Amino acid sequence: MKKIITFFAVLFIIAAAHVNAQWTEVNNNIGSKTITSMFAFGEDLMVGTMGGGIFKSSDYGDSWIDVSGDITSKNVNDIRGGAGPQVVWAATDNGLFFTQDHTSYIDGTSNITNKDINYFWFGDSDFNGTKWAVGTNGDGVYVSDELTGPWVQRNTGLTGDALVVNDMSGYEDDDDHYSVIGTDGGVFFSIDSLNTWVAANGSLTGDALKVNRLFGFSTVVLSATDGGYYLTTDLGVNWIEGIVGEKFNQIGIAAFGTPSSFYFLGGTNAYFSLDLQTWNSMDLTGVTGGAITSFATTSQYFYVGTETGGVFRKALANVTGIKQISETIPDNFKLHQNYPNPFNPTTTINFDIPQTGNVKLSIYNSLGEKVKDLVSEIKSAGSYSVSFDASNLTSGIYFYKIEMEAFTSIKKMILVK
């Protein structure tokens, strides 16, 4: 039999969810600095700042220690980690640096002419001479077979604004192999070990050519620009409009097991998506300091950094609004009545699924038009709770519908403003 939760226990869960639903500022010992980048290695969170150097937290942001060591520039444009909790690759306005102990930083800039480095990348290990790559602020791309150089320019195909390289990525499997960069002059691909670059901007114009971050997997590349978010599935031949007219600084995937993996898009506003098709606005109540500049996840929290406000965290279970409230396998499929009902402007929808499957939970207006997808992903057997925010909808009758291979159910709810 399924476990029964008492009325008082339900009230406690609702109250606790409300308390933890907002963002918490976690700037103790770090201050409200400009956060340029961040990453997590296990439970350790690292942030790069403009003017303050590099900081580390091992207690979910409750406290920070300065791990800038002897790095010669505290203006950190970007940091990356890997291979161990002490490893940091740092791109600064005065060179690129590498550390394995958070104390001694090796200057790897070597013979690079322009030391204003925007990005320090792992490069292309399949080809000689390109195991490491850097993107500069105005001098294009440099590559090297060694972490500390010597570096060789690889700018064939790059001119003007395209020499400002803001982000670098790549992908490789049996069928696809490419490198891709985001620049002030658009998106460029290379399929010959970063030797030549080909513009792949399709219909992108104006602010959409100022690419701040990109994320590639298989033939899909996501681009966060000054003019909006765009997606290509054919290596830049065609671009699909996602959210246009907004500036975005960050895009990527937040990978974790609970409650689910999701894609994140951040800038002046923030959005999350479970399927790259529907983007849901993310509540930023409690986040201050301008636009979002960076993000990271640990096992318990999702973090964002802002232009002048420092670091903020939110419990992962409250990020997307999809929470597994019981792993006990229910006896039957069931879509519960939303609570409260009528509501203004938020309500909660619970559902039970006795088997793993692809779950779709959508909201429709009284005309039968879909207004929002709340869930569209594979969920394991259990009981779930989903919050629905109708702030952008008008008063009236709405319907919510759950669909699985073996189950469909529809219920009515009333929005009163």
- Which homologous superfamily is 23-318 in? YVTN repeat-like/Quinoprotein amine dehydrogenase (2.130.10.10)
- SS3 state at 304: strand
Query: Helix, strand, coil % (nearest 5) of the chain?
Result: 5, 50, 45
pLDDT > 50? residue 19? no
pLDDT > 80? residue 193? yes
**CATH for 322-415, among 3.40.50.300, 2.60.40.1930, 3.40.47.10, 3.30.470.20?**
2.60.40.1930
Residues of the chain with CATH 2.60.40.1930: 322-415
Give 323-335 pLDDT, tens digit per residue. Answer: 778 878 999 999 9
Residue 255: per-residue pLDDT: 64
* CA angle (257, 259, 262) in 5-degree steps: 80
Model-level pTM? 0.78
Task: Indicate left, alpha or beta for 320 from its phi (over 0: left) and psi (-120 to 50: alpha).
Answer: alpha
pLDDT > 90? residue 274? no
pLDDT > 70? residue 122? yes
CA–CA separation, 187 vs 201, rounded Å? 6
- The amino acid sitting at 266 is G
pLDDT > 60? residue 257? no
pLDDT band at 316 (very low <50, low <70, confident <90, very high): confident
Say if residues 103 and 65 touch (Cβ distance below 8 Å).
Answer: no
Q: Express as a percent the part of the chain with pLDDT over 90.
A: 67
CA–CA separation, 34 vs 37, rounded Å? 9
Q: What tokens were used for 217? A: 């997997």
pLDDT band at 165 (very low <50, low <70, confident <90, very high): very high
Give 369-378 pLDDT, tens digit per residue. Answer: 999 888 887 8
Residues of the chain with CATH 2.130.10.10: 23-318
Neighbours of 219 (CB within 10 A): 14
| Residues sharing a CB contact under 8 Å with residue 368, sequence separation 6 or more, in sequence order | none
- Give yes or no for a cis peptide into 85 (omega within 30° of 0): no
Residue 128: per-residue pLDDT: 56
Q: Pick the range with the lowest mean pLDDT from 42-51, 132-141, 258-267.
A: 258-267
